[in-house]
């Protein structure tokens, strides 16, 4: 497989909103088929690393859905959306600046601790299983605009997750992957048991 040709094709599959920040990079030395580092707030670019030798073992629909899932996960990480924990981080930082201006060491420590706890909560939310499930659903929605039905998209993503485990030599799926697979089976109509709402 010619990496440059496949990269151009994948850029066409990718949503237009993600093309500005997401970059596809060939990384033949990595053991994973597709990988992306968790995007930190100060990084504008969000690279997706693909080992095209392993990538070639997947079918075209599997590759499309895997890319869409990874892009959806990367673009779904929001550090600065107006929510409770982002507000707490901001208040903690502002409080820390005010307390340091008054030379109040205890106040600075409390404000800094408050910001750190809220920042950790944001980090955990963005790294949770729920964020992976949301990325799966977003990938299926985008795939619908690329000619896939919801059932087909879920089936292709499900088979891609299982194929990657085999390609990378995992003896079994991890807990997060098992939950995602069960959810995808329910969407694809392959299982009557879905995930609970809570």
Residue among 134, 131, 184 nearest 157 (CA): 184
- Count CB-CB contacts under 10 A for residue 90: 14
Going from N- to C-terminal start, the domains of the chain cover 3-78+127-188
Predicted local distance difference test score (pLDDT) of residue 137: 93
Helix axes 129-144, 60-76, angle to 10 degrees: 120
Res. 69: pLDDT tops 70: yes
Higher pLDDT residue, 3 or 63? 63
Question: In the structure, what pLDDT confidence band is assigned to residue 195 with cuts at 50, 70 and 90?
Answer: low
Q: Strand 22-26 vs strand 46-50: parallel, antiparallel, or unpaired?
A: parallel
Residue among 79, 51, 47, 62 nearest 143 (CA): 62
Exposed/middle/buried for residue 64 (C-beta within 10 Å: 0-12, 13-18, 19+):
buried
Strand (E) or helix (H) holding 25 = strand 22-26
Phi/psi of residue 15, nearest 5 degrees: -60, 145
Q: Please give the structure tokens belonging to residue 4.
A: 């440059």
Using CA atoms, how far residue 121 sits from 84, 118, 143, in Å, is: 10, 5, 31
Residue among 31, 33, 27 nearest 57 (CA): 33
CA 73, CA 21: separation in Å to the nearest integer?
Answer: 13
Instruction: Report the range of poorest mean pLDDT among 54-58, 64-68, 116-120.
Output: 116-120
CB distance 93 to 110 below 8 Å: no
CA 160, CA 58: separation in Å to the nearest integer?
Answer: 7
Span 20-33, average pLDDT: 92
The whole-model pTM stands at: 0.79
Q: Strand 34-35 vs strand 22-26: parallel, antiparallel, or unpaired?
A: unpaired
Question: In the structure, what pLDDT confidence band is assigned to residue 84 with cuts at 50, 70 and 90?
Answer: low
CA 138, CA 26: separation in Å to the nearest integer?
Answer: 24
């Amino acid at each position: 497989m010619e990496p440059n040709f496949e990269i151009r094709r994948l850029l066409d599959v990718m949503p237009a909103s993600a093309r500005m920040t997401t970059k596809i990079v060939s990384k033949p030395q990595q053991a994973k088929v597709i990988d992306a580092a968790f995007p930190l707030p100060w990084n504008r670019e969000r690279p997706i690393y693909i080992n095209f030798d392993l990538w070639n073992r997947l079918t075209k629909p599997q590759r499309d859905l895997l890319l869409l899932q990874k892009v959806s996960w990367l673009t779904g990480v929001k550090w600065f959306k107006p929510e409770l924990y982002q507000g707490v981080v901001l208040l903690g930082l502002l409080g820390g600046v005010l307390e340091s201006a008054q030379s109040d060491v205890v106040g600075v420590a409390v404000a800094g601790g408050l910001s750190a706890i809220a920042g950790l909560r944001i980090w955990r939310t963005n790294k949770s299983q729920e964020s992976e499930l949301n990325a799966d659903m977003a990938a299926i929605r985008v795939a619908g605009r690329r000619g896939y039905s919801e059932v087909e998209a879920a089936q292709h993503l499900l088979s891609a997750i299982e194929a990657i485990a085999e390609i990378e030599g995992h003896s079994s799926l991890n807990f997060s992957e098992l939950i995602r697979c069960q959810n995808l089976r329910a969407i694809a109509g392959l299982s009557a048991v879905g995930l609970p709402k809570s």
